[in-house]
Amino acid sequence: MNDQEKYFDRDLSWLSFNYRVLMEAQDTSLPLYERLKFLAIYSSNLEEFFRVREATVRSLLRVKRKKRQALGLDPENVLDKIHDEVDRQQQVLGEIYRNEILPALASFKIHLLNRAPSHPEHIRFVDEFFSTEVIPNVHPVLLKKDKIVHFLRDRALYLALALGRKTKVEGEAVEKRTEYALVQIPTHYFPRFIMLPYVNDRYTIMFLDDVVRYNLDKIFPGYKIESSYSIKLTRDADLQIEDEFTGDLVEKIKKNLKKRKVGRPSRFLYDESMPREMLRYLRENFDLGKNDMLPGAKYHSFSDFFSFPNPLSPHLEQKSWPSIRNKVIDSYENIFHALDVQDFLLHFPYSSYDHVLSFLNQAAVDPLVTTIRATQYRVANNSAIVNAFIRAAQNGKDVTVFVELKARFDEDANLRSAEEMQAAGVKIIYSIPGLKVHAKIALVSRVYGEGESRRIKRYAFLSTGNFNEKTARLYSDHGFLTTRPEITKELKQVFACLENRDFQPVPFQHLIVAQFGMREILAGKIAREIAHKEAGKNAHIIIKLNNLEDPGIIDCLYEASQAGVRVDLIIRGICCLRPGIEGLSENITVTRIVDRYLEHGRVLYFYNDGEEEMFLSSADWMKRNLFRRIEVAFPLTDAQMKAEIMQILRIQMRDNVKAVRLGSNLENVKVERKEGEPAIRAQEAVYQLITQGKLGQKEPALD
């Protein structure tokens, strides 16, 4: 069996995941505006895919063919498959939008116009809105091949126009040949969706695109508007930091951030009803290649449906679940006093993230706290966590924050927050050449006693998710607050490695750290399950990740399956492992869950002949995580905590509402509920158990 048969292509696997997101837009059990949100998520995901992954595959076309063949690369074939699959999915999206979403909106008297307004009041409103507000922000451009080359802004929406103009020659009207023009839709000034006056007992909403489209004669007086079509160009946004080991990395990233707006084209999206002659003209005018061109519909950027107005709010929207505070932590005035008694495992977003903020805020003002160490990968705007680090430094604490500048699409935000912290006295350590620091860790040192009785106690927070109070309300993650010396001691070693940029072998006994043998350790644990199975013992592996891509670790799982080890995988996104192949992976199942929260936690479970091992981790099992990042996996040894995580995993594997099984051909196979079987929706069940204080009990009530 060759590699193409053994492993799914990474990018096609990701498109399979994004199709699972699109499936949520079809789910009529969801509130209508939740379905609209999933249309927006699907579109936003796809946009990023073309900005990064498709652009990366396309860049391989610039490698000489002989070298590509020697490396086993076939980017033309991959691009063809990507474009075919995207086209198929876009057709499905169009059907959902036209045949399901729009009629459902209309049933609630919410009408999204796709034509010129006809009611006099609407006509007056649109005319006045355009004439007084929109037209000053519209900048039309006539296209003149080889004379006027207009720069298309990344992800901006445009109308491409065919214009006609009559001239008189010796008193006779003569048709002048067609000219072409562009008008940018000013979504940087106005909302994409415009509410029109409420008339005839119905709400009417109009695309800003159409406000412009139906007033083009005012923009081009003297011309006849023959036709108009939507276009949009997406540019390569993957920053290539060359020669990273020399020079000032901060300055390089600042310089490259500017290049992102002018990157190579990665997708030119056009209305598929556009005439070929016009399309050919645009392609030549903007110097686009065949692979740049992808057909779309009349409207692009469905990610804007995140902000689609709901005149009936909160009706048609999903009710939020209030986060749950930990009663034990709240029973103490100081979180450090609570941690002196016991450790805490929190499950976000069900558990309140305020406890993490309290941990850092109280560290900032506690007179006994001397040092704070933390990593920063993606932080929220106006971050309360950044403010806590600043306040700590201002209060005389020794604060060091490792800021990863190469967190894609957060480079600028991370730079700004780092400069703000640095100005306040926080010691900032920037990115390590050749590596990304993706670990989510913090360590606080607190002093007790004086003189000879003086001692230091360390408090740690380790998580599967970022220090980001906003995404903590949307992502499903696990956070661990602990004072266990074996954990805090090794965490101190991790920070020492980051500060000194010294990655000589360190004998970690409890943490599993990428750059210190993570893949070898994980492979060893899989091999141990194989050995137990071959010795006639029970063996079981459960792995929950965002992405599984590394072929070496996949081969280890294949070996486990072939040995008869039961392998249950819960993989949200990319999964290059092919499940259910006889003789290769028939003992492996892959579950994918898409629901109200983004499943983001990473959990590793090994049965280990009854001496069960469980780890929470920042790392997915991808080459980049295992070889080019600093990641930390940490063990859970407390029986109650292990029971809580195991119960969550079992509920997720039994989900028959929002779970699908990944098929051997990348299909998302819905889990069929047997007759009489209760409906199990994992996220809802977990929330109920935490609310009732029953998570980790042996017999949960799931219905």
Which residues are catalytic, by number? Answer: 438
Tell me how far apart the terminal alpha carbons of the chain are, to the nearest angstrom.
Answer: 44
Q: What is the distance between the alpha carbons of residues 491 and 496, in angstroms, rounded to a whole number? A: 9
Select from 312, 22, 287, 283 the least CA-distant residue to 160.
283
Nearest by Cα to 276 from 261, 295, 303, 254? 295
Residues 301 and 191: their CA atoms lie apart, in Å, by 13
The one-character DSSP state at 134 is: I
Closest by Cα among 693, 691, 685, 696 to 656 = 685
Residue 169 CB neighbour total at 10 angstroms: 7
**Separation between Cα atoms, residue 39 and residue 96, nearest integer Å:** 9
Omega of the bond leading into 433 within 30 degrees of 0 (cis): no
Rounded CA gap, 479 and 360, in Å?
A: 14
- Tokens linked to 574: 């990319």
Tokens at 454, concatenated? 């003086």
CA dihedral 62, 66, 70, 72 (to 10 degrees): 50
The answer to whether 228 touches 214, Cβ cutoff 8 Å, is no
472: DSSP letter? G
Residue 430, classed as helix, strand or coil, is: coil
Helix (H, G, I), strand (E, B) or coil at 645: helix
How far is Cα 600 from Cα 550, in angstroms, rounded to an integer? 18
Q: Encoding tokens for residue 372?
A: 């704070």
Q: What are phi and psi of 197, to 5 degrees?
A: -55, 145
Dihedral sign computed on CA atoms, order 604, 606, 610, 613: negative
In the numeric block, the tokens 């080359």 are attached to: 149
| Cβ-based neighbour number of residue 515 at 10 Å | 19
